[in-house]
Amino acid sequence: MLNISPHNIAKAGKKLRQFESYREVEKKETKGTLINIVRGIGIFMLVLLFLPWTQNIQTTGQLTTYHPEVRPQSVNSVIPARIKKWYIKEGDLVKKGDTLVALLEVKDNYLDPDLLVRVKQQIKSKEQSVNSYMQKVHALDEQIDALITAKKNKIEQLKIKLKQVKMQLQSDSIEYETQKINIAIAEAQLERIKKLYEKGLKSKTDYEKRKLTFQKALAELAAKENKYLKTKAEIMNVQSEIKTTIAQYDDKIAKAESNKFATLSTLYDTEANISKMQNKYASYTVRSGFLYITAPQNGYITKLSKAGVGEIVKTGDLILTIVPEKFDFAAAVYVKPVDLPLLSVGQKVRLQFDGWPAIVFSGWPNISYGSYGGEIYAIDKFISDNGKFRVLIKPDTTDHPWPDKLSIGGGVKSIFLLKDVPVWYELWRQINSFPPDYYTSDKDDKKKNEAKK
């Protein structure tokens, strides 16, 4: 002691010894006790460093369901309309197909209450028009067939007539040539008679008779020639008539076919219009079904986005929300990208739910209280908007069941259990900011070995 202070402890001690309490304190020996306490704490801490510690990843998320069809569902209006009547209220339990709300049309095109009946009548009228056009097409087909038959018969008749005229021409030609021979004979006889008459051997009467016979023969020759030429001209007329008949019938057939094709075109247009009207009728029928919104599944009405009667809703507007009556819970939690390689499907998870008291020791899950078992069954392959990957967890069937009173959307905290390591190793890892040790299950190792083989 340097004894720099003006207050001397030794001197003060002499004065204090007059008090019995001070004398009792001086008798206590605390040095050995303190050393034993420090030694015990050190041994305890050393033993604690070698205790097993389960490495883990802690995340948060919300409760959801396995299948999309049993998640809370928004019921929207498919068409713009006006609310006519409500059949439910919030908190009601509804069955699939129950009517929730009735709507009224607001567009001018659909205000007619007899719209479907009128469209149906229009379709029937168009169908009758189609039948009329079909009958007209059949009539034109019959007309075309009749014209073709008439043309064929007429041509046959003209060909027979042409053949007859040709035979007549041959006969007239023979008669004409025969008459030429008769003229030559008559002329020779007239010359002989004339010579005999000049010699006085024949009378003038004989000469004049022979001359008259020759004149008759000339007249007969002219008649034969005229008949021959007339028959020849008739052949040309018959040939011309055949061509004219073919042209006339072809023109009539072409007009009939043109009328047929025009009728078919109108028929096809009418059928197209019928298809359009049937499409409209089907659309109107389906649209009429949208005027009554029904429950898509069994569940509870939780939220009405529209209120009152007469309120206008637009296409796609949210009308109400329905929560399924029965569903299987699942937990959707989000992990950092750096932790994603450490997770795999089937990995065990411990869960803590909001509203359920729990005492959790993340490194010693076996002594935790109020946590529930889970198992990874799906990991998203695409990052979420919050910059993390979503992991879906289902209940672990080997652990005690999750609470029955859980609600969809409730908060959940998850602890992904990794490798068991000593406490000192975990402290060293945390101080150095190393990631948790990664390991795979025996099943994964077997799959990898089989793939290599």
- What CATH number does the domain containing 119 carry? 1.10.287
Same domain membership, residue 227 and residue 188 = yes
CA 316 to each of CA 49, 74, 307, 434: distance values in angstroms, whole numbers, following the listed order: 61, 10, 16, 50
Residue 13: burial class (beta carbons within 10 Å; 0-12, 13-18, 19+): exposed
Residue 207 · residue 193 · CB < 8 Å = yes
Q: Is residue 103 included in any domain, yes or no?
A: no
Q: Is residue 109 included in any domain, yes or no?
A: no
pLDDT of residue 433: 62
Structure-block tokens of residue 152: 């064929």
Over residues 258-284, mean pLDDT: 91
Same domain membership, residue 426 and residue 346 = yes
CATH number at residue 63: 2.40.30.170
Q: Is residue 106 included in any domain, yes or no?
A: no
In tens, the pLDDT along 311-346 reads: 888 888 888 888 877 777 888 999 888 778 778 888
Over residues 286-292, mean pLDDT: 87
Same domain membership, residue 8 and residue 83 = no
In tens, the pLDDT along 138-168 reads: 999 999 999 999 989 988 988 888 888 888 8
Same domain membership, residue 333 and residue 315 = no
Q: How many structural domains are present in the chain? A: 4
Residue 409 to residue 330: CA distance in whole angstroms: 10
Residue 33 to residue 40: CA distance in whole angstroms: 11
Same domain membership, residue 209 and residue 132 = yes
pLDDT of residue 452: 45
pLDDT of residue 338: 77
Same domain membership, residue 122 and residue 77 = no
Same domain membership, residue 185 and residue 276 = yes
Task: Please report which confidence band the pLDDT of residue 421 belongs to, taking 50, 70 and 90 as the band edges.
Answer: low
Contact residues for 220 (Cβ-Cβ < 8 A; gap 6+):
179, 182
Q: Which residue has the tokens 């509870």?
A: 300
Same domain membership, residue 339 and residue 444 = yes
Backbone phi, then psi, for 297, in 5-degree steps?
A: -165, 170
Residue 94 · residue 301 · CB < 8 Å = yes
Q: Is residue 104 included in any domain, yes or no?
A: no
pLDDT of residue 24: 65
In tens, the pLDDT along 213-229 reads: 878 878 887 888 888 88
Q: What percent of the chain has pLDDT over 90?
A: 10
Residue 97: pLDDT above 80?
yes
Residue 427: pLDDT above 80?
no
Alpha helix (H) ranges present in 68-114? none
| pTM greater than 0.85 | no
Range of the domain at 394: 55-70+327-452
Q: Is residue 425 included in any domain, yes or no?
A: yes
Task: Please report which confidence band the pLDDT of residue 134 belongs to, taking 50, 70 and 90 as the band edges.
Answer: very high
Residue 113 to residue 135: CA distance in whole angstroms: 36
Same domain membership, residue 183 and residue 267 = yes
Q: What percent of the chain has pLDDT over 70?
A: 81
Over residues 79-96, mean pLDDT: 88
Residue 86: pLDDT above 80?
yes
Residue 62 · residue 409 · CB < 8 Å = yes
pLDDT of residue 1: 47
Alpha-carbon dihedral angle through residues 206, 212, 217, 223, given to the nearest 10 degrees: -160
Same domain membership, residue 413 and residue 309 = no
Same domain membership, residue 121 and residue 32 = no
Q: Is residue 446 included in any domain, yes or no?
A: yes
Residue 85: pLDDT above 60?
yes
- Which one has a higher pLDDT value, 365 or 382? 382
Least confident of 19-23, 61-65, 324-328: 19-23
Q: Which residue has the tokens 């460093």?
A: 49
Q: Is residue 110 included in any domain, yes or no?
A: no
Same domain membership, residue 392 and residue 349 = yes
CA 348 to each of CA 100, 263, 386, 393: distance values in angstroms, whole numbers, following the listed order: 42, 76, 24, 9
Alpha-carbon dihedral angle through residues 145, 151, 153, 154, given to the nearest 10 degrees: 160
Residues β-bridged to residue 127: none
Q: Is residue 406 included in any domain, yes or no?
A: yes
Residue 405 to residue 411: CA distance in whole angstroms: 13
